[in-house]
A and B are shown apart, each in its own frame.
Chain A
Amino acid sequence: MNLPLLEIKNLSISFGNDIEEHFAVSGISFSIEKGETLGVVGESGSGKSLTSLATIGLLPKSAKIKSGSILFQQGESSIDVLKQNENQLRKLRGNEIAMIFQEPMTSLNPVITCGEQVAEAIRLHMGYNKTKAKEEAIKWFNEVQLPRAEQLFDAYPHQISGGQKQRVMIAMAMCCEPKLLIADEPTTALDVTVQKHILQLIKSLQKKHNMGVVFITHDLGVVAEIADKVIVMQAGTIVEQNTTRNIFKYPAHPYTKGLLACRPPLDYRLKRLPIVQDFLTAQNKEISTVFNEIKISNEERTSQLKELYHKPKLIEVRNLKTYFPIQKGLLKKTVDHVKAVDDISFDVYEGETLGLVGESGCGKTTLGRSVLQLIRPTSGEVIYKNTNLRDLTSKELRPFRKDLQIIFQDPYSSLNPRMRVGDAIVEPMSVHNVYGNQKVRKEKVIDLMETVGLKAEQFNRYPHEFSGGQRQRICIARALALSPKFIICDESVSALDVSVQAQVLNLLNDLKQQFNFTYIFISHDLSVVKYMSDRIVVMNQGKVEEIGISEDVYDAPQKEYTKKLIAAIPKGEEIYG
C-alpha cells in the first residue's frame, strides 16, 4: 500500500470559548507525497500558519482542535500527530518534520554562535559527540551554500546578513534529514534577490534528499517558482486545489484569479490594480479581460510623460551625502564612515512619482530621511521653494513639515498604541494650528478617514483594533492631515499581503489624482516600483546606479545591478503562461 507522506483529513481548529467560537480553520483536507512541494497560499489570517503549526503539534494553547486528523507516514503505517503525547511529538519534531520560520532575525539565539546552534540540534537528535557534531554542522553549512563555512561556524547571528541567517535556519532544519520540511513564509522578510537564492536552495535540497516540502506564502508569484501543487486558502477553507501549472493557466475560483491579478504586472501599465473583490463580485470574469479594460496604451503614456516633465521642479537634491561615523576605542575616536548616502543628485518634478529601488542596506531609506531632514545629511543641498532645507534649524523646519510628509514601512509601529486613531490624525492639525478650531478639525478628519476608506465611527478606536492594511490607511490619512505637497512612501506596502498591497497602491494613486501630490516611492520590490513610478532611481551601496523612465529602465537596463534586480522578480505568470 502506498501511503502519502502527510495526509490531513477534515481538520478544524477554533479559538474562543463555549459562548463565542471562531473557526480559524474549518474542515480542510489535503495530502502530500514524498518528494513533492506543496504551496499553501492565502492572505494573513486565512489559517495557513495554524495548519502548519498543528502538523508539528505546536498550536497555541488557546486554539482547540475540533475535528479531523493529521496522518504522518512512518514505515508501513501512519500515526495521527494529534493523538501523540508531548514526548512522542518531541521525537517527531526535527527528526521527521522540521520547520523554517518567517523571521530569521528573531529565530536565532543572539548570544550563541550560529554553528553551535546547528551543532546543538545535531547532538540532540543524532546523539553525536561534540567534534562529530561540529563536522556535521560544517558539512550542512556547505550544503546550504554558506560561504566560508568554517569561519561562519563561530559567527554570532548579528554578524551575518538576513539571507545567511535564513540559510543557517535551513541548515538547522535540514541537519536531521527530515522527511517533511515546513517553510512558513521563509522569504517574506528578505530582499527579492536573496529570496531567489533561498528558493533555489530549498528546491535543490528537496530534490537531493527527496523530502516533502510545505511552502507557505501569501504571494502566488513565489509559489510558481517552487511548488508542484498549490492549495489556495481563504478564511480557513481551501477554495482551490490544483497543480501549479493549472492554477496559473486555468484559475477556477474568483479568489485565485484575484490573487493572480493583483500583483503589479511587469510588461504593461495599468490605470489601477485589479483587487480580489473585483473578481469576487463579478463571477466568471477572466483575468485578461479585466486587464484589457484598464490597460494604458503606449501613446497615452508618452503624452502623460511629456506633460509631466514640462512642469517645474519641486525638489532638487544636489550632492547629498549622509555619513555615519564608525567609532572605536575608549575615546570613541571616529576611524571611518559608513557612507549610507554618497553624493546623490536628482530632481523631483511636480506631480511625478519617483521610484527608489535597491536591496536592503543600499541607503534608500536613509536617502528618504535625509531629504526630509529627519536624519541630518553630512553635506549637500535639498532645495525646496528656493530654500536649502539643510541650513534650517529644527524650529525653522517646522513650517516646512506641513508640505513634506512620510509614510513608514511598518504600520504596526508607526502608530502610537495609546492614542485613538482619530486623535492621532487630529494631532498634526492642532500642532500646526490649521482649520481654526477642534470641531472643524474633527469634521475634516472624518472626511479624510472616509477618503482613505475608513469609517467615521472608527474615530475613537485604538490602533490594535485594526488590520495591517487598515493601519496603513490610518498612516496615510495622518500624513494627509496637513494637505502636503510631497510624500515619501518608505516601503509603505512591503509589510502587507499582496492582495492588500494592491488596495493600498490603488488608494495612493487615487489620492495622487485627487490632491495632486508628488511621491517618492521607496521599495525593494522592483515590480511595485515600476507600477507606481514615472521615473526610477536604482540605488546600490549609497550611490545611484541608474535613473530613467521606468519602462526604459525595465526594458533596457544599462547596468549589471539593475539586470540582477529584474532577474530576481518572481515571474510566476511567465513560467506558466
Chain B
Amino acid sequence: MKKLSLKYILLFRSFSFSNWFILAILVIGVLAPFLANDKPIISIQNHNISFPFFSNEKYLENTAAFEVWPLIPYHSQSLDFKNMNSVGPFEEQVVPSLYYRHWLGTDELGRDLLAGLIHGCHTAIWVGFGAMAIALIIGVFLGGIAGYFGDSTYRIHKAKWISCLAFLLLTALFIPNLIPWNWAEIPFIEKATQTILFTMLFLFLSAVLYFILNRFQAYKKSISIPVDLIISRCIEIMETIPLLFLIIALSAIFSPSYWSLIGIIGISSWTSIAKFMRAEVLKIRQKDYVESGFALGLSNIQIMKNHVLPNALNPIYINLSFGIAAAILIEATLSFLGLGMGVEQVSWGSILASSRADYTSWWLAVYPGVLLFLTLYSLNQIGDKLSK
C-alpha cells in the first residue's frame, strides 16, 4: 500500500507542473499585498522609518524619501487616470518609467490587470480553502457518524431523544422570528448575544423537559435511531437542489461579502465529502481492529478518534483537491454573474465579467481565463495523482 498522508501531499513527493503551479498560486496569493500595492513597504525620511504599507492612511507620494516598493506599484483598486479606457499590454502607455508599466494592460477604469490577477489569487485561495475547510468539517462529521453508527447501533433514551427534538424544533421555529426587520443595522455583538441567550434558554427548557420525562418509566426505554438513514436522506435532499441556484438565492438574501460567500459555498458542498466519508467508515467498521477496540473496552469516541478517523481520511484528501477546484469555479461563476463579493474585492471572475463590457480588450478575457483554466487543471491533476 502506498503511504498517503497529509505530509505526502504537502511535500509533493513528485514535483511536476501542476504541483509547481499550485505552489506558485499559493505563494502569490498569500503574498499578494506585498507583491502588488500602491504603497511602499518601507519609507525612510529624515531618519524616520515608517511603514506606509501597514497604515490605513492614504499614502502621499514623497520623492525625497528612500523607499522600498513592491514588485508591482499598483493595488488592484488603484486607478491610473493616465491609462484609462483599457490600454493593452502591447500598446503605448503613459507611464513615467518602465517600472510603472502595466505589463498586462489596464481595464476601463485604468486598474492594472496584473495587480488584479495577483489579488485575485488571494481571493481564489481564501474561497477555495476556506469553503473546503467548512465543507470538510461538516462532511467528515456527518459522514463519519452516519457510517459508524449505521441504522441500528445508535441507541438513546426516549426522554433524551424527545428533549433533543424539542430543542431543535424550538430553535428552528423561533430563531427566524427573532430576526427584526432592521437586523442588518444591529451591531454584530448584539446579534451574537441575542442568539446565544435564546439558545441557552431553549437548552434550559429542553433540559427541564428531560428531567420531567425521565421520571416516567415509559420514557426510560432506549430506542435506536437510524442515524445513517437520516443523514443519507439529508445528503440526497441537498444534492437534488441545483447548487448554483441555491447559491444565487442565498447570496441574494445575505449581502454578498467575502465571508458569506465562503460560508455559502462551504455549506452547499459538504455532501460529496460526507458520502465519501460514510462509505469509507462503513468499510473500516468491518475491520478486525475496530472490533478488537470494542473487545479492549474502548468507547465509541476513542475508536472513532484513534482507529476510524486516521484511516478514513485518505480518500477525503483526494476529494479535497477536486473540491477546492470546484469552489474556485463557483466563486468565479458568481463573480462573473455579478453575484460575487462586492466591488472592493477583485476576483478572477469579476475581471472576466469586466471583459464582457469591452470585447475588444482581449487581455481582460485571456489572462484571467488562462489563469483560471490552469489552476483548475492543476488541482484536478493533483487529485488524479493522489487517487492513484
Contact = CB atoms under 8 A, between A and B. Distances in A.
Interface of A: 372, 374, 397-402, 404-406, 408-410, 413-419, 427-428, 431-432, 464, 475, 478, 481-482
Contacts of B288: 408-410, 413-414
Given A416-B306, A416-B311, A401 B289 contact: no
29 contacts: A374-B295, A397-B297, A398-B297, A399-B297, A400-B297, A401-B295, A401-B296, A402-B297, A404-B295, A405-B295, A406-B295, A408-B292, A413-B289, A414-B287, A414-B289, A414-B292, A416-B289, A419-B310, A427-B296, A427-B306, A428-B297, A431-B297, A431-B299, A431-B302, A432-B297, A464-B1, A478-B292, A481-B296, A482-B296
A374 B287 contact: no
Contacts of B295: 372, 374, 401, 404-406
Contacts of A481: 296
A156 to B, nearest CB: 21
Interface in B299-316: 299, 302, 306-307, 310-311
Interface in B249-304: 287-289, 291-292, 294-299, 302
Contacts of B311: 416-418
Nearest to A399: B297
A44 to B, nearest CB: 18
A416 B310 contact: yes
A408 B296 contact: no
B287 A413 contact: yes
A516 B196 CA distance: 58
Nearest to B307: A416
B289 A431 contact: no
A494 to B, nearest CB: 13
B347 to A, nearest CB: 38
Contact of B296 (A399, A405, A415, A464): A405
A431 B295 CA distance: 12
Nearest to B311: A418
A32 to B, nearest CB: 36
Nearest to A419: B306
Contacts of B310: 416, 418-419
A427 B295 CA distance: 12
A96 B308 CA distance: 47
Given A374-B291, A414-B288, A418-B311, A478 B296 contact: yes
Nearest to A395: B299
Contacts of B296: 401, 405, 427-428, 431, 478, 481-482
Nearest to A402: B297
A73 to B, nearest CB: 40
A419 B298 CA distance: 15
A399 B297 CA distance: 7
Kindly name the residue among A406, A418, A482 whose own CB sees the greatest number of chain B CB atoms within 10 A: A418
Nearest to A430: B302
Nearest to B300: A394
- What are the nearest 3 A-B pairs in CB distance? A401-B297, A414-B288, A428-B296
Interface string B216-256: 00000000000000000000000000000000000000000
Contacts of A408: 288, 291-292
A456 B314 CA distance: 30
Nearest to A372: B295
Contacts of B289: 413-416
B262 to A, nearest CB: 31
Nearest to B296: A428
Contacts of B1: 417, 464
Given A416-B311, A418-B310, A431 B287 contact: no
B244 to A, nearest CB: 35
Contacts of A415: 289
Contacts of A399: 297
Interface in B1-39: 1
A345 B108 CA distance: 89
A426 to B, nearest CB: 11
Nearest to A415: B289
Nearest to B151: A332
A282 to B, nearest CB: 38
A408 B299 CA distance: 20
Contacts of A374: 291, 294-295
Given A417-B311, A419-B306, A419-B307, A431 B298 contact: yes
Contacts of A398: 297, 299
A162 B224 CA distance: 35
Contacts of B307: 416, 419
Contacts of A397: 297
Contacts of A475: 292
Given A397-B297, A414-B289, A431-B299, 16 more contacts: A374-B295, A398-B297, A398-B299, A399-B297, A406-B292, A406-B295, A409-B288, A413-B287, A414-B292, A416-B306, A418-B311, A419-B310, A427-B296, A475-B292, A478-B292, A478-B296
Interface string B309-336: 0110000000000000000000000000
A409 B291 CA distance: 12
Given A415-B289, A416-B289, A417-B311, A428 B298 contact: yes
A35 B299 CA distance: 60
Contacts of A404: 295
Kindly name the residue among A413, A416, A427, A475 whose own CB sees the greatest number of chain B CB atoms within 10 A: A416
Kindly name the residue among B295, B299, B306, B310 whose own CB sees the greatest number of chain A CB atoms within 10 A: B295
A524 B80 CA distance: 85
B388 to A, nearest CB: 15
A368 to B, nearest CB: 10
A293 to B, nearest CB: 37
A408 B1 CA distance: 22
A399 B299 CA distance: 12
A42 to B, nearest CB: 25
A416 B288 CA distance: 9
Nearest to B297: A401
B54 to A, nearest CB: 44
B302 to A, nearest CB: 6
Nearest to B294: A374
A96 to B, nearest CB: 35
A428 B306 CA distance: 12
A372 B306 CA distance: 22
Nearest to A424: B289
Nearest to B290: A416
Contacts of B294: 374
B152 to A, nearest CB: 11
Nearest to A464: B1
Nearest to A418: B310
A39 B297 CA distance: 46
Contacts of A428: 296-298
A38 to B, nearest CB: 34
Nearest to B292: A414
A478 B306 CA distance: 15
B225 to A, nearest CB: 16
Nearest to B302: A431
A404 B295 CA distance: 8
Contacts of A413: 287-289
Kindly name the residue among A404, A419, A481 whose own CB sees the greatest number of chain B CB atoms within 10 A: A419
Contacts of B292: 406, 408, 414, 475, 478
A413 B299 CA distance: 20
A402 B298 CA distance: 10
A464 B307 CA distance: 16
A232 B295 CA distance: 40
A413 B307 CA distance: 12
A374 B290 CA distance: 11
A428 B299 CA distance: 11
Nearest to A488: B295
Contacts of B287: 413-414
A396 to B, nearest CB: 11
Nearest to A411: B288
A515 B287 CA distance: 29
A2 to B, nearest CB: 48
A372 to B, nearest CB: 6
B321 to A, nearest CB: 21
